[in-house]
Chains A and B, each alone.
Chain A
């Protein structure tokens, strides 16, 4: 039986454009769930949006020293652009490359919007959303498995999330441009702990109002 979105829509778990090579790992992340893995330097991580328009929140840590972690500002300043796509180098808070985007079928991923939390949901939508599941819950619980805590959460990447900035600075999460099966592939430049929240948000269009499963594949060339 195929996996389903939060609202029960079936998705094909075999979708995706996976690079050639030995498959080290091929896992399904259920709708609304966390995920993590250490990707060895040189290996490729492919993230497949199975249902389409599904935000995949992601923080990277150097596996050798997790105080070195993905830095949105270092990444943005170094490439002079807010969006991520093929060629983007995902840099750490020390300016070092952690991973590089080597293939991207979507074309545009977010660096600014951060993760949803129960707390920020109260600001964005109202206090009735306080008890809804959120990405920070996923990050905290999954990060704890690796000895990470609250202090280790920083501005994250949102794969497949569409956040334009208008001329006057107005920004917002709008309808996604992703489709079922679109894949983004990252090459690890160092051994990298990848922490993921398959976003459970249901109050904005980042998941098409129906969180869906994603596929994670690690290949070794």
Chain B
């Protein structure tokens, strides 16, 4: 029997309720507007998501079009594996091949769109103080983590990214067939002239990436070590997630016409949203 006493339903209820107000290192803050340090210039009332995700953890949210999603690598060893789906029709989803091919650019950074398979921008990267990201290597698998760390199960000490993505996807009614290759932020990878990959790791503590959702989107974040991370120990530190309401990219934004490919992606996106009745 525990000290608080849980042998009766009443005592068990008291015991459960006494936990309220406990602070954990990784947790959501509700309402999001009560987050203690809202970003400069952002009305706390506009915050729609405030959560910290520990290394080996995941979280997801359905975000309105025009939301800014800010990911912060608090201690310098987060790796935010991101997947996106059109919230209205999740068979439309992030397409990493189009995301690097259409902008003629393999490396993610400010101004880069995250494109769907339907020629539309699910999101755009609007700010980036890290510059260490990856659109080539995806995330880790159960088998791979078993080999690397001895375990890759979600309940174990070294969860694989794909296992966490699958759990999150299942909660949105999605399954294994719905999970495409994804992108990751805060651990850089570069390609040399022979096509060989070079792991560059983190840019250090405190860097952040801001994305803007251009369509209503299901966003899944898994915070796990990058597949090329050479360290023997499973190393992943806290990822901070903040989101706030705003407007999608419009023709008045410099980003809209920053390239002919991106301008047509915005036109396709607006065309879909207009027809679908999404503001």
Q: Is there an interface contact between A120 and B119, defined as CB atoms closer than 8 Å?
A: yes
- How many pairs of residues, A versus B, come closer than 8 Å at their CB atoms? 138
Q: What residues of chain B lie closer than 8 Å to A170, measured between beta carbons?
A: 104-106
Question: How many Å from the CB of A207 to the closest CB on chain B?
Answer: 16
Q: Is there an interface contact between A112 and B100, defined as CB atoms closer than 8 Å?
A: yes
Our pick among A120, A152, A172 for the contact of B98 (Cβ within 8 Å) is A120
Q: What residues of chain A lie closer than 8 Å to B91, measured between beta carbons?
A: 149-151
Q: Which residue of A lies closest to B177 (CB)?
A: A151
Binds A, one of B26-34, B71-79, B178-186: B178-186
**Is B193's CB within 8 Å of the partner chain A?**
yes
Q: Which residue of B lies closest to A85 (CB)?
A: B195
Q: Is there an interface contact between B191 and A165, defined as CB atoms closer than 8 Å?
A: yes
Contacts A81-B195, A82-B195, A167-B193 hold; do A72 and B181 have CB atoms under 8 A apart?
Answer: yes
B-side interface size class: 35 or more
Contacts A73-B136, A120-B102, A169-B107 hold; do A127 and B177 have CB atoms under 8 A apart?
Answer: no
Q: What residues of chain B lie closer than 8 Å to A95, measured between beta carbons?
A: 141-144
**Is A71's CB within 8 Å of the partner chain B?**
yes
Our pick among A81, A151, A156, A169 for the contact of B196 (Cβ within 8 Å) is A81
**Is A124's CB within 8 Å of the partner chain B?**
yes
Measured CA separation A215–B142 after assembly (Å): 37
Q: Is there an interface contact between B264 and A126, defined as CB atoms closer than 8 Å?
A: yes
Measured CA separation A82–B138 after assembly (Å): 13
Q: What residues of chain A lie closer than 8 Å to B179, measured between beta carbons?
A: 93
6 closest Cβ pairs, A-B complex? A114-B97, A73-B138, A119-B119, A169-B107, A95-B141, A77-B137
Give A residues with C-beta under 8 Å from B. 67, 71-74, 76-78, 80-83, 93-96, 108, 112-115, 117, 119-124, 126-127, 136, 149-156, 165, 167-173
